[in-house]
């Protein structure tokens, strides 16, 4: 690893609380712009890895859809800002049509106001009035109408582990263009050094994202050149610390999934073992900042697998860390 790449990795691990600790789950989620929770137990894993406790974790954060259409656990007070990034985007309108989408959305809100919170129950209620294809689209297991309502700040999951929904009031008050400068600043503060392509990926700016970000005022950020790319970050003069010899990373860990280019952490030969064809990113073990194996908890037992032979002390230390997470999450995830 060259010196510049090492600096980038040290700074990222510091910003993402992998070489220091954050003892408050809400603060952690706020600084990292949400914690990825396609599988809710990854929030618990990520919190413990970064030093936060799990007291009240199921309701401390709000589970909803954020960037790239993925589920995150976020600070409720932050939702109007985070949701504004995609509040005007609706894939469902292209599938159902604007009028029918709004009609179904209104009916879902009415049902929730009457105490119906489960997708399954709504399917039963809608069955006499809509064809099977419309119901499948609107009440899709991938989100459907609930993604549309979530982006408006009107609906979120009941808690981190529930499949049912609740009405909320977290409506965005700003447009995507109005919140973009603040979102970019917060991204570079936690995830930097990162490129504009990284930021566009993270924020879900699929079309001309890099070009859009390059039009913003970037003078407030410190710059670093590496491999022909420009990396931006917020220089707070903090002691970055060293890259830990051994680090557990949660499934969908931000150190891996938040960047367009991941080879500095995840070698190409290991990518298929870590990121499955379904898009699932497994919990991993990093040795000196490089992904070197997988870990998990299966049937309440720690499981550790390295891609290549590691010293006995590394194997033992990794097993002990996983077993500690198993102990702290037993019966709650």
> What is the 3-state secondary structure of 7-19?
HHHHHHHHHCCCC
- Band (94; pLDDT cuts 50, 70, 90): confident
C-alpha distance from residue 254 to each of 117, 225, 249 (Å)? 31, 22, 9
**Inter-CA distances, 270 with 39, 92, 262, 263, 290, Å:** 22, 36, 11, 10, 11
> For position 112, what pLDDT does the model report?
97
| Alpha-carbon distances, residue 109 vs 67, 112, 120, 145, 328 (angstroms) | 23, 5, 15, 10, 38
State how far the Cα of 251 lies from the Cα of 39, in Å rounded to an integer: 8
How many Å apart are CA 136 and CA 104, to the nearest integer? 12
Domain boundaries of the chain, sorted by first residue:
91-151, 246-329
pLDDT at 209: 87
The answer to whether residue 90 scores a pLDDT higher than 80 is: no
3-state percent helix, strand, coil for the chain, nearest multiple of 5: 45, 15, 40
CA–CA dist 125, 269 (Å, integer): 49
Element (H, E) at 290: strand 290-298
Confidence at residue 307, expressed as pLDDT on a 0 to 100 scale: 97
Please give the backbone phi and psi of residue 204, each rounded to the nearest 5 degrees, phi first. 70, 35
- Find the mean pLDDT for residues 89-106: 88
Predicted pLDDT of residue 134? 95
Average pLDDT over residues 130-145: 93
Q: What gap in Å lies between CA 214 and CA 232, rounded to an integer?
A: 12
pLDDT band at residue 88 under the 50/70/90 scheme: confident
Of the chain, the end-to-end C-alpha distance in Å amounts to 37
Q: What is the mean pLDDT of residues 127-134?
A: 95
Q: What is the tens place of the pLDDT at every residue in 207-219?
A: 788 899 999 999 9
pLDDT, mean over the chain: 94
Tokens coding 275: 């990121």
Share of the chain above pLDDT 90, in %: 87
Tell me what the mean pLDDT of segment 16-44 comes to.
Answer: 96
pLDDT at 165 > cutoff 80: yes
Read off the pLDDT band of 2 (50, 70, 90).
Answer: confident
pLDDT at 237: 83
pLDDT above 80 for 113 = yes
pLDDT at 247 (0 to 100) = 98
| Average pLDDT of the residues in 148-167 | 96
Report, as an integer, the average pLDDT of 43-72.
Answer: 95
Report the share of the chain in percent with pLDDT over 70: 100
Phi then psi dihedrals of residue 291, to 5 deg:
-60, 125
Contacts with 71 (C-beta within 8 Å, 6 or more apart), sequence order: 36, 37, 38, 63, 64, 65, 157
Higher pLDDT, 88 or 120: 120
Q: Show Cβ contacts of residue 122 under 8 Å, excluding neighbours closer than 6 positions.
A: 108, 111, 116, 139
């Amino acid at each position: 690893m060259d010196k510049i790449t090492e600096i980038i990795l040290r700074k990222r691990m510091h910003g993402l609380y992998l070489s220091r600790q954050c003892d408050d789950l809400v603060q952690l989620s706020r600084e990292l712009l949400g914690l990825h929770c396609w599988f809710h137990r990854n929030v618990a894993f990520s919190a413990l890895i970064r030093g936060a406790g799990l007291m009240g974790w199921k309701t401390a954060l709000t589970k909803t859809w954020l960037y790239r259409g993925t589920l995150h656990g976020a600070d409720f007070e932050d939702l109007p800002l985070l949701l504004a990034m995609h509040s005007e985007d609706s894939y469902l309108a292209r599938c159902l049509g604007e009028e029918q989408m709004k009609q179904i959305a209104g009916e879902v809100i009415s049902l929730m106001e009457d105490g119906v919170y489960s997708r399954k129950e709504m399917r039963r209620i809608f069955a006499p009035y809509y064809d099977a294809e419309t119901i499948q689209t609107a009440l899709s297991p991938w989100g459907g109408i609930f993604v549309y309502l979530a982006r408006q700040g009107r609906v979120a999951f009941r808690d981190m582990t529930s499949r049912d929904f609740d009405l909320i009031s977290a409506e965005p008050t700003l447009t995507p263009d109005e919140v973009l400068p603040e979102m970019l600043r917060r991204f570079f503060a936690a995830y930097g050094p990162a490129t504009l392509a990284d930021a566009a990926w993270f924020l879900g700016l699929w079309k001309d994202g890099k070009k859009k970000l390059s039009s913003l005022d970037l003078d407030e950020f410190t710059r670093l050149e590496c491999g022909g790319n420009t990396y931006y970050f917020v220089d707070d003069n903090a002691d970055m610390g060293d890259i830990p010899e051994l680090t557990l990373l949660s499934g969908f860990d931000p150190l891996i999934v938040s960047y367009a280019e991941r080879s500095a952490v995840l070698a190409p030969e290991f990518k298929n073992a870590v990121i499955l064809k379904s898009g699932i990113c497994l919990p991993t073990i990093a040795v000196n900042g490089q992904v070197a194996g997988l870990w998990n908890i299966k049937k309440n037992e720690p499981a550790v697998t390295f891609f290549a032979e590691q010293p006995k002390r590394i194997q033992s230390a990794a097993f002990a860390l996983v077993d500690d997470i198993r102990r702290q999450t037993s019966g709650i995830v």
